[in-house]
Structure 1
Amino acid sequence: MIECVLCDDTVSEQMPGSLLAAAALLLALKFTRQSDKPEIAKRFYKHQPYKHDELEKRTEQILKLMQNVPRSIYHTNVREKYKRTEFDRVANYQYNNDLVVPVS
């Protein structure tokens, strides 16, 4: 997630590093459904300086960016490094569903 933002000049200049880190952590908490637990959500928002609305806006921006990785001229290295399915999984994940991690 962070690498996608850093590869995009426009988005990376709009988002300070601390905001990017907080938004990426929030996405990870949502992805693993940890943000559904009130004590974890409360602790997360207590220990970072950004408001809930700002973080939600930035997480949406990161998800849209990840959905457009295959068409972006900025993300050649990211495409080479990661599988497309990993981006689809995070960018299109329905956060109201249970996380199922295939073990192979």
Structure 2
Amino acid sequence: MSGSASKHDLDLIMDAILGCSDVEKLISVKTFTIDDDDLLVAAKIALPAEKTVRDVAQCVSEIEEQIYKTVPAVRSIYIQPDIYRPSLDPEPPTDVFVLKSED
């Protein structure tokens, strides 16, 4: 396996993943070229802790369906669900920073 998806295809893949309303964060996504021009997608997504296995399976199915529909070169998709823990996030969103002034 070598190579990866084009910027355009990667954007479509990320849109499909973030299009599932249950996805709190896209932790990582990797693409690999397999065979000639076929793609493999591997992603780790964060979901709310209270989601059931049924909810997770539905979200994964939605993501897979959208990726297959919008990026025909994708032949295999592996999605690893996780629970988002903001305290462990190495790149927290900027809205969590509080800057105190001396006024």
Q: TM-score under structure 2 normalisation?
A: 0.30
Higher relative contact order structure (alpha carbons within 8 Å, sequence separation ≥ 6): 1
Higher strand residue share: 2
Higher helix residue share: 1
The structure with more radius of gyration: 2
Q: TM-score under structure 1 normalisation?
A: 0.30
